[in-house]
Chains A and B, each alone.
Chain A
C-alpha cells in the first residue's frame, strides 16, 4: 500500500538504506552546515565553487553543504586494518548548470575508507549494481580504470596539455579530435592508431580485456591483471552481465585514481550513479588511508516513467445534496479498501485526472 503512495526517489531511499545495512554500512547523519572555509580549501573537488554562505549567530561564516564526501572524510581516522563503512542520505546545494540557480539535490551513497583492497572494490561495485537494480531492471554500470588510462597516455606523449585534452576526448568517445591532437603533438602513427582503437573498446568485460591485450605494450599489465581478477569475481554475480568496462567513464584525476564507474538507467538521460576510488583526495587532506564510494542522484529518478503520474486519482466520485449519505460513505470506503485512490467532488471541472468516474449525484 505504502508502495503506491511513495514517489520513485522516496521508495529508493528506503530500499537503498536497507541494502547498505546488509553490507554493514552504518547510517551517517551529518549537520546541514559546514564552515565555509572548509569548502574553500577543497573547492577543486566540488562540482561548482559557488556555495550558499551565511553568518551564524556568533558571526562565523557557514555554508550549506554542496558535498557530502568531504564531511565524511574529515571525521574519520586512519587505523591499520580498519575500514570505516558509512552510508548517507542527504540534501546538497549546488548551482544548476542549466538555470545557474541554486538547486537542492537529494543524494544517497556509501563511502568505504581505510585499507582498501580488491575485495572492497568488488563490494562497492556490487553494491552499486544492486542499487541500480533497485531503481530499474534496465541498467548499465560501466567501470573504468584511471591508472590504466593515465599510464597509457603518459607512455605515449609527455607534452604538457596532451594528457588533459586526450582524457577529455576519450571521455567524449571523440576519436577524430584525439587523432588531431596526436598529430599536433608528434605522436607516432602506431600510437595514434592504437589510441583510436582504445576509444572503440567498451562493452562486455571479457571482450574488452581481450582487445586490451591485443593493443599490447603501452597498456599497464598490473592494471589489466587487476581488471581481470575483478571481472572473474563479478562473473559469479547474477547482475554481472550488466557491469561493463568502458574507459570513457572518467573523473578528475587530481582526486580520483584506480577504479571509477558510472551507472545509467534506461529512461534517464544522464548517469544516476557515479563513484570510484579517491585516495588522492584523502592524501591531499593529510590522511594516509585509501577510499572508495559512490553517490546516487535521487532527483534524477523524477524522470523515470510512472504509470500513476498520468492520473491524480483512480476514481472521481461525484455526489450532491440528493446523494444518499450511506451510499456515499460505503462507496468511498469500498474504493479505498480495494487499494484505489478516490476524490469526492460535487462536479467534474476537468481539474482532476481520473481512470474511472463514479457519479452518485441524485436529480442530475
Chain B
C-alpha cells in the first residue's frame, strides 16, 4: 500500500488529478464528506489530506511514503526527504518586500518580519547583512506599515496584496513551486511504485509546459 499525503486545498485537488491520470485513482476522495483518509484497495494506494505545511513532516517520518509540499516549506524546515519532481504548480516566489520609499542603506541592523525565519536568516547571511528577525504567523504585510519591521520576507504570488499596502518587491530570494517528495526509506522498498508515479506525472508536467 502506497501512502500519499496531499496538501488540503486547491493545490491538493490539482495534484490528486495528476495521480488519478497516472492510474492511481481513488473515487471515494471526490465524495462530499469530512473524511481525511481515502483508500483504493485494488490500486494499493491511500491518500490523506493534511495541512500543507505538515506534508513534509508526514513524509519525513514515514507516515506517508510520498507527498506534495511547497518549496518554501522544504527550504524552511529542510526535511530529510528526496525531492523527486518539480510539479510546476502553485508557482510564486519568496521575496523581500518593503514600503515603496524604503531604501536599505546598510547603516543599521535590518529588521525583518517573516514566517520563514530560516529562509530569511540564510538569505541575509549569504549577503553578510546583520538582521533582527521578527517571527510572525500571519498578516506580515502590516509589519513595515506599523514600523514593526523595515522589510518583510514572504511569498509573493501576484503582488496585489503588496500593492494594496503600498509595498513593493525589493528582491527575489528564490522561485517557489510544488514539489513531489518521498520518504528515503520508502523509496528503497517501494521504489518501483514510486518511480512509476513520478514518471507518469513527469510526462504530465512536460505536457502542461
Interface positions of A (Cβ within 8 A of B): 138, 140, 142, 172-174, 176-177, 203, 248, 264-266, 268-271, 303
The residue on A at minimum CB distance from B177 is A176
Bound state CA distance, A248 and B188, in angstroms?
A: 12
Contact yes or no, B86 A176, CB < 8 A: yes
Bound state CA distance, A93 and B85, in angstroms?
A: 36
Contact yes or no, A248 B189, CB < 8 A: no
The residue on A at minimum CB distance from B71 is A177
Q: Quick one: given A172-B81, A172-B83, are A269 and B62 in contact (CB under 8 Å)?
A: yes
The answer, among A266, A270, A303, for a CB contact under 8 Å with B80, is: A270
Contact yes or no, B185 A269, CB < 8 A: yes
Contacts of B60 in A (CB 8 A): 269
The answer, among A177, A203, A266, A271, for a CB contact under 8 Å with B184, is: A271
Bound state CA distance, A294 and B60, in angstroms?
A: 23
The answer, among B84, B86, B183, for a CB contact under 8 Å with A173, is: B84
CB distance from A354 to the nearest CB of B (A): 29
Question: What 0/1 pattern do residues 177 to 209 of B give for CB contact below 8 A with A?
Answer: 000000111111101000000000000000000
Bound state CA distance, A176 and B87, in angstroms?
A: 10
Residue with the greatest number of chain A CB neighbours at <10 A, chosen from B84, B188, B191: B188
CB distance from A42 to the nearest CB of B (A): 23
Residue with the greatest number of chain B CB neighbours at <10 A, chosen from A173, A265, A266, A268: A173
Whether, in the assembled complex, B51 has its beta carbon less than 8 Å from a beta carbon of chain A, the answer is: no
Contact yes or no, B188 A172, CB < 8 A: no
Contacts of B48 in A (CB 8 A): none
Contacts of A174 in B (CB 8 A): 82-84
Question: What 0/1 pattern do residues 83 to 117 of B give for CB contact below 8 A with A?
Answer: 11110000000000000000000000000000000
The answer, among B84, B185, B189, B191, for a CB contact under 8 Å with A271, is: B185
Whether, in the assembled complex, B135 has its beta carbon less than 8 Å from a beta carbon of chain A, the answer is: no
Bound state CA distance, A142 and B189, in angstroms?
A: 12
Contact yes or no, B83 A264, CB < 8 A: no
Contact yes or no, B83 A142, CB < 8 A: no
User: What 4 A-B pairs come out closest when comparing CB atoms?
Assistant: A269-B62, A176-B86, A174-B83, A140-B188
CB distance from A184 to the nearest CB of B (A): 12
Known: A173-B83, A269-B61, A270-B185. 7 other contacts (CB 8 A): A140-B189, A173-B82, A177-B83, A264-B184, A266-B185, A269-B185, A271-B184
Give how many B residues have a beta carbon under 8 Å from the other chain's beta carbons.
18
Contacts of A173 in B (CB 8 A): 82-84, 187
Q: List 10 A-B contacts (CB under 8 A).
A: A172-B82, A173-B84, A174-B82, A176-B83, A177-B83, A264-B188, A265-B185, A266-B188, A269-B185, A269-B186
A-B contact count (CB 8 A): 45
The residue on A at minimum CB distance from B59 is A269
Contact yes or no, B82 A142, CB < 8 A: no
The residue on B at minimum CB distance from A140 is B188
Contacting A at CB under 8 A, from B135-192, are 183-189, 191
CB distance from B86 to the nearest CB of A (A): 4
Contacts of A270 in B (CB 8 A): 62, 80, 184-185
Contacts of A142 in B (CB 8 A): 188
Q: Quick one: given A269-B60, A269-B62, A270-B80, are A176 and B85 in contact (CB under 8 Å)?
A: yes
Bound state CA distance, A264 and B188, in angstroms?
A: 8
Bound state CA distance, A173 and B188, in angstroms?
A: 13
Contacts of B61 in A (CB 8 A): 269
Contacts of B82 in A (CB 8 A): 172-174, 248
Contacts of B186 in A (CB 8 A): 269
The residue on B at minimum CB distance from A172 is B83
Contacts of A176 in B (CB 8 A): 83, 85-86
Bound state CA distance, A176 and B82, in angstroms?
A: 12
Contacts of A138 in B (CB 8 A): 189
CB distance from A44 to the nearest CB of B (A): 17
Contacts of A177 in B (CB 8 A): 83, 86
The residue on A at minimum CB distance from B181 is A172
Bound state CA distance, A303 and B191, in angstroms?
A: 21
Contacts of B86 in A (CB 8 A): 176-177
Contacts of A248 in B (CB 8 A): 82
Bound state CA distance, A123 and B116, in angstroms?
A: 46
Bound state CA distance, A138 and B60, in angstroms?
A: 20
Contact yes or no, B188 A269, CB < 8 A: no
Contacts of A265 in B (CB 8 A): 185
The residue on A at minimum CB distance from B191 is A203
Residue with the greatest number of chain B CB neighbours at <10 A, chosen from A203, A268, A269, A270: A269
